[in-house]
């Protein structure tokens, strides 16, 4: 039989359509393991004369997802019993649930959670699938709500005294080393940090191709689970899910590289571009730049801006972008005739007119090249 057990409310853009991404189910699987361990502790606390829980304490007990309700998305999770009637031990699972929810509430309020550190380490996997801006809300017995967010989870893990913990991440970089005998490789991030990663058969060809093209600067994007230490430094990949080759001119990656520049980068001169403006520029490039056109080469300017350049046949083209206002000067010069075309573009215009004008101007030159 089934008995309704938990109705957490999942908040965030991914849950707006009242559906659950399958990815988040891994978190509830980890919650099930955590509940069992906490319930065992509850049982032993109630029976101090016992050394261990009775045989079959958790036998036939499982969490089942029975429905997903609206608001943003509310998974209805039931405690499923193999028997016709609820087990007498089910009360310990209710107590365990309350303990876990109170631990989340304590962390949210900046207090020390009451669960012991070894049980708090289950938050390494429970809550890992939440992205920034997302939350799992649980009802407390006093009617209030406890909210598990990436920030609350980090506080719980710091309270667990763990030296490191894991998180889902997508990182970009180059592959300087592959150890086929040891089934591993290294990803070199743009800030020079190298992370070891397991080499799976499914990724072998992509990883080897990227390694052979390391000196040519070939970039890959790796999605997986990384270990991060208490100082917030990435240590290694624990799990690799996807390895994707990137265009050598990938906009986001190049702008991340430019974000590493410091004031004085140009032989003592040169202002560093503003990081937030670079992120905004990467987003608008992604949304507005025509996918039919070749990607530009991107360079920093000494004034703290970005210069995009293209060579289309005999046309040399530049777009000097001022940050943070995204005002841009476009200039195209025909190297044989000296013919020159210039215009000022406002790439921040809400109607996208600046990007439309850029796309049209480049498309014309591309056609002329053909």
Residues 270 to 329 in contact with another protein, rule: CB under 8 A: 270, 297-303, 307, 309, 311, 316, 318, 320
Under DSSP, is residue 172 helix (H, G, I), strand (E, B) or coil? Answer: strand
Minimum distance, C-beta of residue 286 to another protein, in the bound complex (Å): 18
Q: Which is nearer to another protein, 111 or 260 (CB)?
A: 260
C-alpha Rg value of the chain to the nearest Å: 27
Size of the site for another protein (CB under 8 A): 31
**Closest distance to another protein from the beta carbon of 112 (Å):** 47
Which listed range, 120-128, 171-179, 198-206, 337-345, lies at the site for another protein (CB under 8 A)? 337-345
Which region, judged by CB under 8 A, interacts with another protein, from 154-162, 235-243, 333-341, 353-361? 333-341
Determine, following the binding rule CB under 8 A, whether residue 344 of this chain makes contact with another protein.
no
Q: Which of 74, 93, 90 is nearest to 82 (CA)?
A: 90
**Span from 109-117, 162-170, 266-274, 355-363 in contact with another protein (CB under 8 A):** 266-274
Nearer to another protein, 167 or 256 (CB): 256
Closer by beta carbon to another protein, 310 or else 355: 310
Residue choice 70, 232, 267, 287 for contact with another protein (CB under 8 A): 267
Asked if omega into 324 is within 30° of 0 (cis), the reply is: yes
Minimum Å distance from CB 327 to another protein? 14
| Of the candidate residues 331, 353, 368, 369, the single one contacting another protein (CB under 8 A) | 331
Task: Please give the residues from 123 up to 152 whose contact with another protein meets the rule CB under 8 A.
Answer: none
Core vs surface per residue 277-305: b (16+ CB within 10 A) or e? bbebbbebbeeebeeeeebbebebbeebb
Q: Could you give the 3-state DSSP secondary structure of residue 86?
A: coil
Burial 34-64 (b: 16+ CB within 10 A, else e): bbbebbbbbbeeeeeeeeebeeeebeebebe
Considering only residues 206 to 265 of the shown chain, the ones binding another protein according to CB under 8 A are 217, 248-249, 254, 258, 261, 265
Distance CA 283, CA 140 (A): 39
Contact 321, 328 (CB under 8 A): yes
What is residue 281's DSSP assignment? H
DSSP output for 283-319: HHHHHHS-TTSPPPEEEE-TTS-EEEEEEETTEEEEE
Task: Report the residue number, 35 or 312, with the smaller CB distance to another protein.
Answer: 312
111 binds another protein (CB under 8 A): no
Query: What does the DSSP assignment read for 60-76?
Result: T-EEEEEEEEETTEEEE
Angstrom distance (rounded) from CA 198 to CA 178: 10
Q: Could you say which of 232, 269, 287, 350 contacts another protein (CB under 8 A)?
A: 269
| Shortest distance, position 206 Cβ to another protein, whole Å | 19
Q: Are the CB atoms for 154 and 111 separated by under 8 Å? A: no
Q: Tell whether residue 337 is a contact of another protein (CB under 8 A).
A: no
Please choose, out of 73-81, 109-117, 123-131, 336-344, the segment that lies near another protein by the rule CB under 8 A: 336-344
Query: Does the footprint of another protein cover residue 69 (CB under 8 A)?
Result: no
Taking the C-alpha atoms of residue 70 and residue 279, their distance in angstroms, rounded to an integer, is 33
Q: Nearer to another protein by C-beta: 81 or 310? A: 310
Smallest distance, another protein to C-beta of residue 301, A: 7
- Binding-site ranges for another protein (CB under 8 A): 217, 248-249, 254, 258, 261, 265-270, 297-303, 307, 309, 311, 316, 318, 320, 331, 333, 335, 338, 340, 342
């Amino acid at each position: 039989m089934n008995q309704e057990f938990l109705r957490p409310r999942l908040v965030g853009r991914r849950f707006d359509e009242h559906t659950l991404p399958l990815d988040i189910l891994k978190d509830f699987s980890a919650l099930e393991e955590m509940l069992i361990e906490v319930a065992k502790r509850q049982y032993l606390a109630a029976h101090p004369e016992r050394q261990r829980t009775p045989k079959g304490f958790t036998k036939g007990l499982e969490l089942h997802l029975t429905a997903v309700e609206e608001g943003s998305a509310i998974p209805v999770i039931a405690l499923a019993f193999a028997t016709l009637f609820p087990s007498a031990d089910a009360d310990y699972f209710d107590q365990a649930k309350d303990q876990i929810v109170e631990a989340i509430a304590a962390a949210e309020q900046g207090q020390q959670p009451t669960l012991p550190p070894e049980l708090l380490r289950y938050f390494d996997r429970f809550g890992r699938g939440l992205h920034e801006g997302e939350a799992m809300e649980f009802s407390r017995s006093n009617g209030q709500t406890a909210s598990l967010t990436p920030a609350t989870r980090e506080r719980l893990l710091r309270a667990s005294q763990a030296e490191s913990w894991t998180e889902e991440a997508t990182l970009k970089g180059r592959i300087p080393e592959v150890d086929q005998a040891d089934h591993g490789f290294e990803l070199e991030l743009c800030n020079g940090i190298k992370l070891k990663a397991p080499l799976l058969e499914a990724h072998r060809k992509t990883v080897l191709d990227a390694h052979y093209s390391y000196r040519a600067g070939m970039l890959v994007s790796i999605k997986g689970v990384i270990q991060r230490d208490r100082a917030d430094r990435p240590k290694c990949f624990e799990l690799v899910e996807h390895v994707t080759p990137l265009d050598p001119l990938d906009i986001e990656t190049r702008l991340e590289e430019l974000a590493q520049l410091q004031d004085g980068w140009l032989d003592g001169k040169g202002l560093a571009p503003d990081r937030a403006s670079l992120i905004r520029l990467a987003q608008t490039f992604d949304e507005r730049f025509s996918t039919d056109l070749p990607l530009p080469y991107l360079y920093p300017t000494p004034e703290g801006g970005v210069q995009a350049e293209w060579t289309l046949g005999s046309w040399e083209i530049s777009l000097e972008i001022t940050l943070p206002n995204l005002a841009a000067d476009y200039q195209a010069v025909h190297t044989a005739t000296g013919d020159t075309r210039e215009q000022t573009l406002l790439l921040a215009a809400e109607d996208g007119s600046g990007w439309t004008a850029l796309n049209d101007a480049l498309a014309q030159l591309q056609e002329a090249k053909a």
